Amino acid sequence: MSSESGDKKLFNLAARADADRARMREHLMRGAIELQGMVPWSSNYTYLVSVKYADHEISAIYKPQCGERPLWDFEDGTLCKREVAAYALSAFLGFPNIPVTVLRADAPQGLGMVQEFIEHKRRENFFTLRARQRGAMQAIAVFDALVNNTDRKGGHVLVDAQDIVWAIDHGVTFHQEPKLRTVIWDFIDEPIPSELCAALTALRDALKRGEPIRAELEQLLARAEIRALNARLNALLQTRLYPAPPDGWPHIPWPPV
Ligand SMILES: Nc1ncnc2c1ncn2[C@@H]1O[C@H](COP(=O)(O)OP(=O)(O)O)[C@@H](O)[C@H]1O
Ligand SMILES: [Mg+2]
């Protein structure tokens, strides 16, 4: 996506240089992880951890594969990989803001995803933010349609002290069947902003040409899921409209926050 500051403002994207992301990635990949405690109310085993690297300590979220609650529709042990795939896609597109997320095989409870912790305003969520953060929600809504997010709760939208909006919890994404379930149905049948479409077009080209993002996704997702991702991408680029809820599918998560 164009990195013009206009777009960044419109969709409230973190003004974060690639070099900063790379540094955070390195920190999360190489740092020493220590469990600090479990995050209350999480549906899977979700830990708050500290990650120390080069004498610098940060907080992170750690979701081990062994703590994933089995689901009827997603293959066991794949949620942590889906979180990393969602991050990779967001980093390619330039939207939405997803905290840097990596896969670690050597974490305290084994393989899992490790994601930078975002200090956020605890009382805010999608419902309190939607009116004044419309652009950020437009970006998240396109992304959710693309990745087929089946659990966009209000609380999976955070805002930090700088009023940057962050999207979290992408474990149940990329299923090959339509499963979009979200609280963000504000834009049904509205045109997807052209800046966001431009990023989708760039993604389609990159996947077609076999750029690194394709290999990255292939390591994390099943082949049929990548085919379905391509199909959703083409459909979005064909209509250039926000989708309506799928038929016969509970399209609003419970609880909504
Ligand atoms: N990267 C993050 N930064 C800050 N808080 C987070 C982050 N990821 C998760 N949390 C907090 O932990 C809670 C549970 O995380 P979530 O990703 O929803 O886990 P689960 O997969 O168990 O639903 C979130 O509602 C949020 O309060
Ligand atoms: Mg959650």
Q: Mean pLDDT score of the chain, rounded to an integer?
A: 94
Order of strands, sheet of 47-53, starting from the edge strand that comes earlier in the sequence: 32-38, 47-53, 56-64, 112-116, 101-104
Could you tell me the pTM of the whole model? 0.96
Q: Side chain identity at 216, as an amino acid letter?
A: E
Residue 156: half-sphere exposure toward Cβ, Cα within 13 Å: 27
229: Cβ below 6 Å to ligand 1?
no
Give tens-digit pLDDT for 75-98: 999 999 999 999 999 999 999 999
Give me the residue spans of the domains in the chain: 5-239
DSSP 52-88: EETTEEEEEEEEEGGGPPP-SSS-TT-HHHHHHHHHH
> Residue of the nearest CA to atom 12 in ligand 1?
39
64, amino acid identity: P
- Per-residue pLDDT tens, the chain, 257 aa: give them: 544 556 777 787 766 788 899 999 999 999 999 999 999 888 889 999 999 999 999 999 999 999 999 999 999 999 999 999 999 999 999 999 999 999 999 999 999 999 999 999 999 999 999 999 999 999 999 999 999 999 999 999 999 999 999 999 999 999 999 999 999 999 999 999 999 999 999 999 999 999 999 999 999 999 999 999 999 999 999 999 999 998 888 999 999 99
Using CA positions, which residue lies closest to atom 6 of ligand 1?
117
Lookup: tokens for 201: 């077009």
Residues 61 and 28: beta-carbon distance below 8 Å: no
pLDDT of the residue at 248: 86
Q: Which atom of ligand 1 is nearest to the CA of 42?
A: 22
Candidate from 36, 38, 39 with most ligand 1 atoms within 8 A of CB, to mutate: 39
